[in-house]
Amino acid sequence: MKKILITGGAGFIGSHVVRRFVKNYANYHIFNLDALTYAGNLENIADIEKSSNYTFIKGDIVNADFINQLFEKHQFDGVIHLAAESHVDRSITDPLAFVKTNVIGTMNLLNAAKTIWTNDANDKRFYHVSTDEVYGSLGATGLFTETTPYDPNSPYSASKASSDHFVRAYGETYGLPYVITNCSNNYGPNHFPEKLIPLFINNIINNKALPVYGDGKYTRDWLYVIDHAIAIDLVFHNGKNHETYNIGGFNEWQNIDLVRLLCRQMDGKLGREAGESEKLITHVKDRPGHDLRYAIDASKINKELGWKPSVTFEEGLNQTIDWFLANEEWLKNVTSGEYSKYYEKQYS
Ligand code: NAD
Ligand code: DAU
């Protein structure tokens, strides 16, 4: 049985990846390593926690001794690395936290993998899950391809760019077998309500203001999180060694148009009069260094691995809203910090 380490598996995207791998691959034992920061929530994966091919490990990737011992003990065959500080606004107020987890944490994993994979590295794989934000900002036209030069603008994207460079450098210098994917904005169930879509769903439910940064003309390319998990599965198994793949939704929206669509859908679902939720829109001070537009050219992963999004944005957004409305308890718990009680009950 192969041993696969997934980091950050209690977070938003990681929980969908862990679930997919635990359910689909009985020949793997999945180790989910997560520090359970504010963004990590074991409730996200409560449905698979008793699976016989699954083990949760609470731990911090910044602790090199701990990581080395973990790799020495389990001799992992593959690593899918998602653990990160992931929110741009937080990186503006506390950049060092992003350097610690995203850069030093990734370095610790690379060093540990390099140490245990010296002899038979060909059947091993280090998969770094990264972001399209490393490419900086697009103007009104054009798309990010795998050869677009890195040009990060926020402390978050600078830390992810740095970790991508280290992964690639370990491949070139030490022959570490790696793949990297750079993905656009995800949305879906279990999305932490500090990011645009879940924050605004939560605020609409509670009749709170919807803080649109600046004029709202910023553009993002949205992808349903389960389609990202499917892409990660494909790249982990079939991607070429030492390659990068862009993943995106072919789905660009200006923030203000997306927020209006969300308001319309929420009005319908909450039985409110048309236009009621839109009244909550408030234009607030812009995010410093705000990237104007992200848009991914995902033709490489499409041509080489046959991947494309499986749900339309309308379906994905509809399912996402339904999930949040059906899981108001989850939403209440994560906004009140109640979820840490779940962890204390289970793992202390
Ligand atoms: P998230 O913030 O929801 O989850 C991050 C997880 O990592 C949490 O469970 C947290 O507890 C864990 N973690 C944080 N610091 C840790 C540490 N020091 N040691 C161990 N675990 C730690 O993030 P997400 O949105 O699910 O993003 C996952 C990955 O995907 C990140 O690497 C992010 O850069 C990347 N990504 C995200 C998006 C997106 O739209 N959310 C898009 C492209 C790429
Ligand atoms: O592109 C991939 C990236 O997408 C990931 O790497 C990041 O981890 C993820 O957080 C996301 O980054 P963004 O900064 O694009 O996502 P966020 O949801 O924070 O913001 C989306 C857009 O909405 C952005 O233009 C800022 C704007 N926004 C956001 C918030 C939270 C608002 O106008 N108001 C808000 O309150």
Looking at the domain assignment, is residue 339 inside a domain? no
Q: What is the pLDDT of residue 117?
A: 95
What pTM does this model have? 0.98
Looking at the domain assignment, is residue 49 inside a domain? yes
CB 78 within 8 A of CB 236: yes
Mean pLDDT estimate for the chain: 96
Alpha carbon of 196 to ligand 2 centroid (Å): 6
Looking at the domain assignment, is residue 201 inside a domain? no
**Around Cβ 332, how many Cβ atoms within 10 Å?**
13
Per-residue pLDDT tens for 225-278? Answer: 999 999 999 999 999 999 999 999 999 999 999 999 999 999 999 999 999 999
> CA gyration radius for the chain?
20
Total number of domains in the chain: 1
Looking at the domain assignment, is residue 79 inside a domain? yes
Q: Is the pLDDT of residue 134 over 80?
A: yes
Tracing tokens 């987890």 back to the chain, one arrives at 101
Q: Is the pLDDT of residue 121 over 90?
A: no
Q: What is the pLDDT of residue 332?
A: 92
Alpha carbon of 191 to ligand 1 centroid (Å): 11
Alpha-carbon distance of 296 to 184, in angstroms, equals 7
Contacts 24+ apart (CB under 8 A), 116-123: 116/71, 116/72, 116/75, 116/76, 117/176, 117/177, 121/175, 121/176, 121/177, 122/177, 123/77
Give the CA dihedral 112, 118, 123, 126, nearest 10 degrees. 30
Cβ of 61 below 6 Å from ligand 1: yes
Per-residue confidence band for 196, with pLDDT thresholds at 50, 70 and 90: very high
Per-residue confidence band for 294, with pLDDT thresholds at 50, 70 and 90: very high
Catalytic residues: 132-133, 156
Ligand 2 proximal residues by C-beta, below 6 Å: 86-88, 131-133, 184-185, 195-196, 199, 211-213, 218, 220, 255, 287, 294
Q: What is the pLDDT of residue 122?
A: 79
Alpha-carbon distance of 324 to 201, in angstroms, equals 8
Q: What is the pLDDT of residue 342?
A: 67
- Beta-strand pair 125-131/185-187: unpaired
Per-residue pLDDT tens for 3-60? Answer: 999 999 999 999 999 999 999 999 999 999 999 999 999 999 999 999 999 999 999 9
Q: What is the DSSP letter of 105?
A: I
Q: What type of residue sits at position 217? A: K
Which residue owns the Cα nearest ligand 1 atom 14?
84
10 Å CB burial of residue 341 (0-12, 13-18, 19+) is: exposed
CA 167, 191, 311, 259 dihedral sign is negative
Q: 184: domain range?
A: 2-190+221-252+294-314
Closest CA to 223 of 243, 246, 193: 246
Looking at the domain assignment, is residue 259 inside a domain? no
CA distances (Å), 118 to each of 75, 123, 168, in order?
12, 12, 17
Q: Ligand 2: which atom is nearest the Cα of residue 130?
A: 6
**Around Cβ 274, how many Cβ atoms within 10 Å?**
10
Looking at the domain assignment, is residue 146 inside a domain? yes
Looking at the domain assignment, is residue 155 inside a domain? yes
Per-residue confidence band for 345, with pLDDT thresholds at 50, 70 and 90: low
Looking at the domain assignment, is residue 289 inside a domain? no
Alpha carbon of 224 to ligand 2 centroid (Å): 15
Q: What is the mean pLDDT of residues 201-219?
A: 98
Q: Ligand 1: which atom is nearest the Cα of residue 247?
A: 43
Q: What is the mean pLDDT of residues 187-215?
A: 97
CATH number at residue 242: 3.40.50.720
